[in-house]
Structure 1
């Protein structure tokens, strides 16, 4: 028995298997621990990318020791529980270049079996700005469909984008941003009433609009005791509706005409009934020097005659309502959005403008795009933009909307539509018939033409289709964007916030050369 026991080899497999487990556990442990290390290295790299941009803005304001301490604070704030040490900060003031190297270590879990207690990781980032600068137009839908959580989310997402690009600076040396809220029209600011690019002398071919006889809209506004021009303008006649052509009195069609929504009839006669169904009735039909009662309509053209008559606008006219608003009748009807904020590098001015945005009115993406372009352009009407060929300067436009272009048409009335930035549909300024599908299609065509002109000028366009089910509008926005990866869709408010953050990150990454 003793001899047989000494010669028995049947238990050796257990010993061999036990010995084999050591390298197996080592390989599995290495894979798991190195995956953790890679994940933390990526987080450190993102924090370092943020820090190098922030440090670059402080060149000339801090010495290298202070810059290193500042970089460490930025990294710590972004790592949220992880840690990394800034090992080196090198600065070239002439090139405005910053290089930062950071390192850390990850404590192992399974590799400890092989007596490997930690894995060292490092990251490096470089920001070289030189004299680089960014100009960004935020073209933001403020139409009525944006009410509630949507407009609140849009405000917050836009504010976050501004804060990301400005870093800790109240005033940026490199970033200028404009805010262009749009709804049915765009508000260029009532302070610009006397600007040379406004049609002060009623010489534009669209200034008369539907009015009978010679009319100057600014003079009409002066007749009211309780209303002044709120700042909105009509779409310029083609081809200037899709271009940045300089406004000049030598070419009256290039000038900008103030919106003036005429007083519409008190009612119209349907069979034997008087129906008060006009969108913008704010005066009685026999106001002023109008003595003939033209409100008892017998034909479809009588509403046009009544709306067009100028005799009702005499001295000391009082509108039934006060100034502006989609739900408030008056000459400023459709002037719903807040005024444009031209390019500025002052963070507080941008945050203030964004915080005032309200959701009202129709949707006119075309006017949003063209006025966003005009804020980036170096020429009138806004001249804050630097010339297109300025070295190391890049221009961007972010267009966000939650709906399709809108023209409220009505074939049952002589006016053919409510008043819009194109006037009334019966003025045929879009060259289409008077049904909604045809006018929207034409607006989409104009919008794409404007986008293509913007891109041809060297401006990169990002678009965001927010909770839009209409495939035509989504495709139009894709075509408007500069590239496939610059066209975003977002279905929820959280996705909208993420999209703005992604675009902010993309713009920030353009500042990181390594």
Structure 2
């Protein structure tokens, strides 16, 4: 008679692409299988993929807790013009080793540049273009930002409104709490890797999912005693990197790059992450955190503090340890679930 509500808040940033994302899908699916092996009558599971933003789904655009305009189009005309070319430039291409970045993580790559360029005269050639009509379409794909502080770190203000953004793509849509295992597994299978890291976005929607108040209302109310934990609410936060974006307080976007020696590391985002963790635990939500191949000591410390206790924190330094971490979390949830 002690139902379980579990939300998996999963990092799907660009640095998770390839083997890391494949392993995450296996680990998360295994957790679902183990937790539901005896049936799903008392088990609800939700999934919150996150990167720079969270996708709440297009179907929610008319909800009172989101602010987003209708899709629209604009047209502009580019006048035609004539251009005369009387020279030609030829260059050689040189390749060289360089460093590139994905989601703030450096990797070795190859870059190219033009060298030994020579410009020579040619017989003038004139080309003309016609007027061109340009149509720009603006659509909402489900991606939302954050309300202003402190509403962005709380679940207690029913008036908070999340800004929705046009022509922005982000993670796959969230899957609210459900007893349907096939729905949860389909959500895990659909995960894709893209974007930068803004952990508060994922945490906030995991919090929303476990709260019975708007914007999501599938969860049961918190146990008023805080002792019996009926229902037992749990969250799994998995990330493979540090916050690499800051929130723009003016519009709720998570598009501000940390400035070296000022916001680097992403102090504001780290502060919001820590506050969200504290507020989540204050509601007696059990928090498991998993640092997957994380090298940033600052965010690892934040994740360890975010967990309910040391036994709820996992430092998964490779794919094998990620699988083990999710198995251990499943065992912890399953054993106490059976005991109750």
User: Which TM-score applies when normalising by structure 1?
Assistant: 0.50
Against the structure 1 CA distance between its residues 231 and 435, is the aligned structure 2 distance closer, same or farther, given a 3 Å change threshold?
Answer: farther
**CA offsets 1:203-230 (integer angstroms, 9 cap, x no match):** xxxxxxxxxxxxxxx14x4226655201
Taking structure 1 as reference, are residues 358 and 436 closer, same or farther at Cα in structure 2, changes over 3 Å only?
A: farther
Answer with 1 or 2: which has the greater Rg.
1
Match of 2:253 among 417, 421, 430: 421
Are 1:372 and 2:206 an aligned pair? yes
Does 1:440 find its partner at 2:266? yes
Kept in 1, the 8 Å contact 2:245–2:256? The answer is: no
CA RMSD of aligned residues (A): 2.4
Please state if 1:489 is matched with 2:339: no
Alignment-derived partner of residue 397 in structure 1 = 235
Matches within 5 A, 1:2-17: none
Per-residue deviation, 1:241: 1.3
1:420 shift after superposition: 8.1
Which of 23, 48, 57 lines up with 1:189 in the alignment?
57
**Is the partner of 1:337 in helix, strand or coil?**
coil
* Structure with greater helix share of residues: 1
Distance in 1 (CA, whole Å) between partners of 2:253 and 2:329 is 31
Separation (CA, whole Å) in 2 of partners of 1:507 and 1:386: 18
CA distance in 2, matches of 1:408, 1:133: 37
Give the paired residue count: 273
User: Which of 148, 157, 181 pairs up with 1:347?
Assistant: 181
- CA change 1:422–1:513 in 2 (3 A) is closer
> Where is the strand percentage greater, Structure 1 or Structure 2?
2
Higher relative contact order (CA 8 A, sep 6+): 2
Deviation at 1:433, TM superposition (A): 6.7
For 1:461 and 1:178, how far apart are their aligned partners in 2? 14
Aligned to 1:460: 286
* 1:450 aligned residue (250, 264, 276): 276
Q: Give CA-to-partner distance per residue, 1:444-479, whole Å, 9 cap, x none.
A: 011000100000011010000010111001001011
How far apart are residue 355 of structure 1 and its match? 0.2
How many angstroms does 1:156 deviate by?
0.7
Say if 1:408 and 1:436 are closer, same or farther in 2 by CA, change over 3 A.
farther
Q: Is residue 407–residue 420 contact of structure 1 (8 Å, CA) maintained in 2?
A: no
Residue number among 28, 35, 43 corresponding to 1:165 in the alignment? 35
The residue number in structure 2 matching 1:210 is none
Which residue matches 1:315? none
SS at match of 1:476: helix
In structure 2, the gaps of 5 or more residues are 75-135
CA contact (8 A) 1:369 1:450 kept: yes
Cα gap change, 1:465/1:439 in structure 2, threshold over 3 Å: closer, same or farther?
A: closer
Matching of residue 356 in structure 1 with residue 194 in structure 2: no
Q: After superposition, what is the alpha-carbon deviation per residue over 1:325-373, rounded to whole angstroms, capped at 9, x for unaligned?
A: xxxxxx31xx320111000000000000000000101011111111101
Q: Higher mean Cα deviation, 393-402 or 433-442?
A: 433-442
Give the match for residue 73 of structure 2: 223
Secondary structure at the counterpart of residue 257 of structure 1 = strand
CA distance in 2 between counterparts of 1:375 and 1:365 reads 16
2:141 counterpart SS class: coil
Match of 1:238 in 2: 149
- The two structures have a TM-score, normalised by structure 2, of 0.75
Gapped regions of structure 1 (runs ≥ 5): 1-130, 201-217, 249-253, 261-330, 410-414, 426-431
Report which stretch shifted further, 384-393 or 346-355.
384-393
Of 208, 211, 221, the residue aligned with 1:387 is: 221
